[in-house]
């Protein structure tokens, strides 16, 4: 048995978990989901999902991970004798492989934009005025999107096969605050754009007539995706926490910071969307169509663009590292493989499906299942089905099947911290989260 790694500092705990949570989910997926689901209505439901469902499920994963210092299967084995619970490990692994496949495609788009930013084409005013057509031409082409996807996965592979936890911790500590700084600057720039007010109204003012079951399902899926929840990613990270980390406080901090980044991204994107007269219901391409115009018109746009896409790349890689950890831990521990071999297997799967996802916008756009391209199908099935299913299982397991004293000891660090919210969290975990997820799930899918 190898010596288990542990995060070195309290800041490291927050930085790495926030590093996993903050990524393309906040800056790419959140704005486009909000755009297709009515803006303010989506935001409101999203916030409720994060704090009523997300935080308790996050606590449930933390209790299992930190309480056992094991991977997901090991944790279930230690905590309960029934094999039924092992099922939760499999949905998580499947989800992590699906997510990493389509996520790498978008991270590849980020790399393309980073190089366009360096060469100056991204912020060139004439090119930026055709940002939408240029982006569509790029993502429907064959070579470059595939090349970037594979390159991104190769970088990810190099990092995860070496298991550089220390490196991850250090990278997250410095780069995440920098990303936040740039987002704030972009936000100020955004609200000063002519016509931004309309965008802010769209984003912040809920139109209750827009709240449909599919909006609620989308918001819940987004909350799971953005908090890296329901696939045992946070469970694995928390198995590296030391015993004095405060779980409820950490979960709340992560949720707040993650939400803050998403809201900042929303402000930036919707100010620009309305200012430049773009349709908010674009879907996955939305952010990539508006960012070039933002940077082209912003003072010092060249530098901001280069920095922004570089940091977005880092934010993406800290997220994919955490996704890879799930399947690597599974393959290496279940089949007692070396970490390296396990990484090769999961990268190979991701490359194959990543290429298919990358081509979903071009040559494979006619390959549809249930009316969705492979890219959208992976996105939909993982976020809106597999992650909520995982969330229900974690909250029910920890809320109902776990020893009460164990749960209390974990949430209160053996009684040494007073967790005023203990009762609330347990109540949410036992009753509210599972019922809410199941109800949303059934209505949303029908």
Find the helix packing angle between 55-68 and 404-411, rounded to 10°: 100
The 8-class DSSP code of residue 121 comes to T
Q: Return the residue matching tokens 């040494």.
A: 416
Report the C-alpha gap between 241 and 9 in whole angstroms.
9
- CB nearer to ligand PHE: pick between 226 and 282: 226
Q: How far is the CB of 354 from ligand PHE (least distance, A)?
A: 15
Name the residue number minimizing CB distance to ligand PHE: 25
Q: How far is the CB of 229 from ligand PHE (least distance, A)?
A: 7
165 binds ligand PHE (CB under 6 A): no
15 binds ligand PHE (CB under 6 A): no
Q: How far is the CB of 83 from ligand PHE (least distance, A)?
A: 25
384 binds ligand PHE (CB under 6 A): no
Copy the structure tokens of residue 209: 């007539």
Instruction: Tell which positions 81-120 bind ligand PHE, by CB under 6 A.
Output: 99
218 binds ligand PHE (CB under 6 A): no
Using the rule CB under 6 A, which residue among 104, 322, 327, 347 binds ligand PHE? Answer: 322
- CB nearer to ligand PHE: pick between 21 and 355: 21
Q: Strand, coil or helix: what is 426?
A: helix
CA separation (Å) from 179 to 172, 264, 273? 10, 11, 21
254 binds ligand PHE (CB under 6 A): no
Q: Return the residue matching tokens 């746009």.
A: 301
Using the rule CB under 6 A, which residue among 14, 15, 24, 350 binds ligand PHE? Answer: 24
318 binds ligand PHE (CB under 6 A): no
Stretch that binds ligand PHE, among 18-26, 59-67, 118-126, 286-294 (CB under 6 A): 18-26
- CB nearer to ligand PHE: pick between 31 and 301: 31
Plot region of 39 (φ>0 → left; ψ -120 to 50 → alpha; else → beta): left
* 222, 30 contact by CB (below 8 A): yes
The Cβ of residue 8 has, within 10 Å, a number of other Cβ atoms equal to: 14
Using the rule CB under 6 A, which residue among 16, 18, 19, 26 binds ligand PHE? Answer: 26
49 binds ligand PHE (CB under 6 A): no
- Maximum separation of any 2 CA atoms in the chain, in Å: 64
368 contacts: CB under 8 Å, gap ≥ 6: none
Site string for ligand PHE, 231-250 (x = CB under 6 A): x-x-----------------
Q: Return the residue matching tokens 């990613």.
A: 233
Report the C-alpha gap between 431 and 400 in whole angstroms.
10
Using the rule CB under 6 A, which residue among 89, 101, 161, 319 binds ligand PHE? Answer: 319
Using the rule CB under 6 A, which residue among 12, 19, 25, 199 binds ligand PHE? Answer: 25
Report H helices in 28-164.
30-36, 40-48, 55-68, 72-79, 87-119, 125-129, 131-139, 143-162
Q: How far is the CB of 101 from ligand PHE (least distance, A)?
A: 12
- CB nearer to ligand PHE: pick between 100 and 433: 100
225 binds ligand PHE (CB under 6 A): yes
* 407, 426 contact by CB (below 8 A): yes
Stretch that binds ligand PHE, among 22-30, 133-141, 155-163, 189-197 (CB under 6 A): 22-30
Q: How far is the CB of 317 from ligand PHE (least distance, A)?
A: 11
* 243, 42 contact by CB (below 8 A): no
50 binds ligand PHE (CB under 6 A): no
Q: How far is the CB of 422 from ligand PHE (least distance, A)?
A: 26
Helix (H) or strand (E) holding 369: strand 368-369
Single out the residue of 157, 318, 342 nearest to residue 237, CA to CA.
318
Contacting residues toward ligand PHE, per CB under 6 A:
20-21, 23-26, 99, 225-226, 228, 231, 233, 319, 322-323
């Amino acid at each position: 048995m190898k010596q288990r790694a542990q995060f070195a500092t309290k800041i490291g705990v927050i930085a790495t978990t926030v590093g996993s949570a903050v990524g393309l989910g906040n800056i790419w997926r959140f704005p486009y989901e909000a755009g297709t689901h009515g803006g303010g209505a989506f935001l409101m439901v999203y916030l409720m999902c994060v704090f009523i469902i997300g935080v308790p499920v996050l606590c449930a994963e933390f209790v299992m991970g930190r309480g056992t210092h094991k991977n997901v299967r090991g944790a279930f084995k230690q905590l309960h004798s029934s094999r039924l619970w092992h099922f939760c490990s499999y949905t998580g692994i499947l989800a992590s492989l699906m997510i990493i496949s389509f996520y790498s495609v978008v991270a590849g788009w980020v790399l393309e934009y980073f190089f366009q930013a360096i060469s100056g084409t991204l912020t060139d005013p004439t090119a930026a005025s055709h940002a939408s057509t240029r982006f569509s031409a790029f993502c429907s082409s064959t070579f470059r999107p595939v090349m970037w996807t594979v390159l991104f996965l190769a970088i990810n592979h190099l990092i995860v096969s070496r298991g550089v936890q220390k490196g991850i911790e250090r990278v997250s500590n410095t780069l995440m605050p920098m990303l936040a700084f740039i987002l704030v600057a972009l936000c100020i720039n955004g609200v000063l754009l002519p016509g931004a007010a309309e965008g802010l109204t769209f984003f912040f003012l809920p139109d209750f007539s827009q709240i449909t079951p599919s909006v609620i399902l989308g918001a819940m899926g987004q909350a799971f995706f953005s908090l890296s929840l329901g696939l045992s990613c946070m469970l694995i990270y928390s198995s590296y926490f030391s015993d004095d980390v405060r779980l409820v406080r950490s979960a709340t901090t992560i949720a707040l910071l993650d939400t803050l980044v998403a809201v900042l991204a929303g402000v930036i994107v919707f100010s620009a969307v309305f200012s430049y007269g773009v349709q908010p219901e674009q879907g996955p391409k939305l952010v990539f169509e508006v960012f070039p115009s933002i940077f082209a018109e912003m003072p010092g746009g060249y530098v901001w663009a280069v920095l922004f896409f570089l940091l977005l790349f880092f934010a993406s890689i800290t997220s994919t590292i955490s996704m890879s950890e799930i399947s690597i831990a599974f393959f290496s521990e279940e089949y007692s493989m070396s970490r390296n071999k396990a990484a090769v297997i999961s990268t190979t799967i991701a490359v194959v499906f990543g290429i298919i996802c990358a081509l979903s916008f071009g040559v494979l756009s006619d390959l549809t299942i249930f009316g969705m391209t492979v890219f959208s199908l992976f996105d939909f099935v993982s976020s809106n089905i597999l992650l909520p299913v995982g969330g229900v299982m974690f909250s029910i397991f920890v809320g109902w099947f776990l020893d009460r004293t164990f749960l209390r000891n974990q949430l209160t660090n053996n009684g040494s911290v007073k967790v005023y919210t203990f009762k609330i969290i347990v109540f949410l975990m036992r009753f509210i989260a599972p019922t809410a997820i199941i109800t949303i799930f059934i209505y949303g899918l029908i």
